[in-house]
Amino acid sequence: MSDGDVVARSLQDPLAFEELVTSLGPRVHAYLARRVPHHADDLLSEVWLEAFGSRGQYDEGRGEVAGWLFGVARHVLMRHLRRVERSRGAAPDDATQHEDWDAVDRRLDASGLAPVLRAALAALSAEEREVLLLVAWEQLSPTEAAAVLGIPAGTARSRLHRARARITDAWNTTAVTTARGEHHS
Amino acid sequence: MTTDTHTSPIDPWTDLRRAGQVTPVSDEALQAARAAVRRAAMTETLRAKVLRVRRRRLRRTAVGLAAAVVVVSGAVTVRLGDHHVGGSPAAAAVLKRAARATIAQHDPVIGPGQYLKVTLVQRTWGTASGRGGKTLRGKDGQLATFEERWTRTIWIPHDIDAAWTFRERTKVLRNGTTDPALQDHAEPNRIYRQASWAAPLSPYHLQTYDPRWYASLPHSPQALLKAIRKAVGGEGHGAAYDLQEIYSEVLRSGLAPATVRSAVFSALAKTHGLEVEQGVSTPAGRAGVAIGARGGRFQMIFDAKTGQYVGERGTDPGFPAVPGLDADKTTLLASVTTTVVDDAPQVR
C-alpha cells in the first residue's frame, strides 16, 4: 500500500494516518532538525497534527506524500519562526535566513572548506538556497521541491540550476587557488 | 607539487550532504508525534460517530417519512382536526413559556462519589438499501425497513475530568419484511469506560458536554446562539438546520444548565421562521406541542401541560411506503433525562 493509499484510507479510518508517522516521521524530523535543531522534537508533533488535519487536501496527482508533508513542515516551521521573530520584534523574510547554521558549520569545518561552502551558500538568494537545500538534504526532486514551496516546477529547476552553478564556480575557484598556493609554498 | 582538485575525494555536493547530516529522531519524539496523531484521530472518529448519529436520524427519518406517506389520505384527514399550525408569534409563546419553565428548574447537584446519569433514548427508522440507495425488498415482497430504539446512558462522575462510563443498548422494535436475510439485527449491547468528554485535554472533548464551556457562554440571546453555532459547527445554514444540528446538540447532551437552556429558548423565541404544531405526542406519550422551522422536518417537543422541553421528533415525506408500518408518522423520537445516582456499573 502506497503512502497515498494510506492518506486515502485515513479519510475513512483516521487512525490509519499513524502509519505515516512511522514511515515518514524520521525524514520530517530531519528537515526540522537541520533548520531548528533545538525545536525539532516539539515541532514534529505540530507538523503531524497539521498534516492530519489537512490530509483531505492532499492531491496524489500533484506529487508524493513526502513532498506534501515537507510543504506542511515548511508551513509549521515558518509559523514557528514568525513566533520567534515577533518575540524579538522583527519579521522573517524566509525560513532559510533563520536557520541555525551552527550544526552545519561544525560539519563543514571538519572539511577545511567550510568558509567556501558557507560563503557560496550565503551568496545565493534565499529562494535559490531553499530549493538547493530541499534537493540536497531532503532528497526531493526539483518538481517536489517546487510543490513544497508552492512555485512552478520550471521556476524551481531554474533556481536550482543557478544555485548549483554558483556553488560549483565558487568551489572550483577556491580549489584552484588553494592548489596554486600549495604549489608555490 | 600539484593538486588536482577535480580528483579530490570531497566535492561540494558531498560536503553539502554531509553538512545536512543530523542525529536520527529519537524514539520518544516519534512516539510523541504518533500519540498526537492518534489522539486527533480518535477525536475525529468520535466526532464522526456523533455526526453518524445525526445522519442516522436524517436517514431513518427519510425512511419513516415514507411510511407516513402511505397513510396520507386516511391519517392526515383524520388528524387534521387535531392539528393547528400557527405562525411565529405562536411559536414564540411556546418558547417563552418553555424558557420560564426551564429557569424554574434546579440543576442536579452531584456530590462526591455520586454520578450524573444522562440517558438518551432515540427511536428511529432505517432501511436496508442496495446499490443506488434503493430500498431492498424481502422475499415476501415487503420493503426492508426496520424500527429500532437506541439507548445511551452516560455516568458522569463528580470529578468530571475522570473517566466516564457508557452503556449502549439497541433493540429492533419491528422489521418491515419477514425475510430473515434482510431483517435488521440489533447491534450488540456494550458497556465501556472512556476518557471524559468534558476535559479540555481529553481526546474525546466535546464542548456541548463541558460545563465549563456552558459557563463561559454569553448571556445575550443572539450572542449565545452565535457562540453555540460557532462551537458546534457544521456546514449547513438556516433555521431548520440550526434547530436540528446545532441547538439540539446542546439540549440532548443533558449537561446544559437550566440558565443556558432557558436562554436558548428565549433566543429562539425571537427567531423568525419558526412555527408551532399542536396535538403531537411526547416521547412519554403525553400531550405535547412541537416547534420547528417552516419547511423543516425536525421539531423540538414541549410538554403541553408543563411547558417544559421533553425531546425532539422528526418526519420525512420521502419515507418508503411500508404497509403495516403506518401507525406512527414520526420517524425520529428522542428524549434525554438526567438523574443523580450513587453508583455506576462496573466495567470488566
Contact B176, B146 (CB under 8 A): yes
Q: Cβ of B30 and A171 within 8 Å? A: no
Could you read off the pLDDT of B285-344 as tens digits, one per residue? 889 999 999 878 889 999 999 999 999 988 765 555 554 444 446 777 889 999 999 999
Nearest chain A residue to B42 by CA: give it.
Answer: A15
Could you read off the pLDDT of B90-147 as tens digits, one per residue? 999 999 999 999 999 889 999 999 999 999 998 877 666 655 556 778 888 887 777 8
Q: What is the span of the domain harbouring residue B293?
A: 2-6+65-341
Which residues on adjacent β-strands are paired with residue B311? B301
* Of A117, A137, A175, Cβ closest to residue B8: A175
Which option is the CATH number for A1-99: 1.20.120.1200, 2.60.40.10, 1.10.1740.10, 3.30.9.10?
1.10.1740.10
B137 in a domain, yes or no? yes
CA distance B57 to A41: 44
**Quick one: fold of A100-185?**
Arc Repressor Mutant, subunit A (1.10.10)
* Of B12, B23, B32, Cβ closest to residue A117: B12
CA distance B298 to B304: 18
B59 in a domain, yes or no? no
Burial of B338 (C-beta count, 10 Å sphere; 0-12/13-18/19+) = middle
B38 in a domain, yes or no? no
Which residues on adjacent β-strands are paired with residue B118? B154, B338
End-to-end CA distance of chain A: 61
B236 in a domain, yes or no? yes
Given CA atoms B228, B231, B236, B241 in this order, what sign does their dihedral have? negative
**CA nearest to B233, candidates B50, B57, B85:** B50
Q: Does residue B2 register a pLDDT over 60?
A: no
pLDDT at B210: 92
Report the mean per-residue pLDDT for chain A. Answer: 79
Same fold, A1-99 and A100-185: no
pLDDT at B62: 36
DSSP class of B72? I
Q: Does residue B84 register a pLDDT over 70?
A: no
**Please, how many CA atoms are within 13 Å of residue A150, restricted to the half-sphere of its CB?**
4
How far away is chain B from the Cα of A158, in angstroms, using its nearest Cα? 18
Phi and psi, residue B27, nearest 5°: -60, -35
Could you read off the pLDDT of B139-178 as tens digits, one per residue? 888 877 778 888 889 999 999 999 999 998 888 888 888 8
Tell which wins on pLDDT, B258 or B297.
B258
Confidence class of residue B8 from pLDDT cuts 50, 70 and 90?
very low
DSSP class of A151? S
CA distance A88 to B319: 64
Burial of B27 (C-beta count, 10 Å sphere; 0-12/13-18/19+) = exposed
Checking ipTM against 0.95, whether it exceeds it is no
Tell which wins on pLDDT, B1 or A98.
A98
Nearest chain A residue to B46 by CA: give it.
Answer: A14
- What is the DSSP secondary-structure string of B190-250? EEEEE--SS-TTSTT--GGG-HHHHHHS-SSHHHHHHHHHHHH--S--SHHHIIIIIIHHH
Contact B66, B318 (CB under 8 A): yes
Contact B119, B311 (CB under 8 A): no
Q: Which three cell numbers stand for residue B166?
A: 457508557
Q: Which three cell numbers stand for residue A4?
A: 497515498
Nearest chain B residue to A118 by CA: give it.
Answer: B16
Q: Which three cell numbers stand for residue B104?
A: 424554574
Lowest mean pLDDT among A49-53, B52-56, B131-135, B232-236: B52-56
B185 in a domain, yes or no? yes
Q: Does residue A82 register a pLDDT over 50?
A: yes
Which residues on adjacent β-strands are paired with residue B121? B151, B335
pTM over 0.90: no
Q: Which three cell numbers stand for residue B144?
A: 426492508
B124 in a domain, yes or no? yes
B17 in a domain, yes or no? no
CA distance B28 to B31: 5
CA distance B244 to B234: 11
Contact B315, B329 (CB under 8 A): yes
Q: Does residue B59 register a pLDDT over 50?
A: no
Q: Cβ of A171 and B20 within 8 Å? A: no
Q: Does residue A23 register a pLDDT over 60?
A: yes
Phi and psi, residue A182, nearest 5°: -65, -35
The set of residues, in sequence order, having a beta carbon less than 8 Å from that of B271 and lying 6+ positions away, is B88, B225, B239
CA distance B81 to A125: 81
Q: B89 vs A4, A56, B274, CA distance in Å?
A: 55, 45, 9
Number of domains forming the structure of chain B: 1
Contact B320, B63 (CB under 8 A): yes
CA distance B334 to B331: 10
Domain residue ranges in chain A: 1-99, 100-185
Could you read off the pLDDT of B183-237 as tens digits, one per residue? 776 667 888 888 888 987 776 778 889 999 999 999 888 899 889 888 876 666 7
* Mutation site for A-interface testing, chosen from B1, B4, B6, B16 by largest number of A Cβ within 10 Å: B16
Scanning the structure block, which residue is given the C-alpha cell 422541553? Answer: B309
Scanning the structure block, which residue is given the C-alpha cell 558549520? Answer: A105
Could you read off the pLDDT of A148-168 as tens digits, one per residue? 888 877 788 888 888 888 888
Chain B residues touching A103 at Cβ < 8 A: 22
Q: Cβ of B37 and A53 within 8 Å? A: no
**CA nearest to B70, candidates B331, B317, B332:** B317
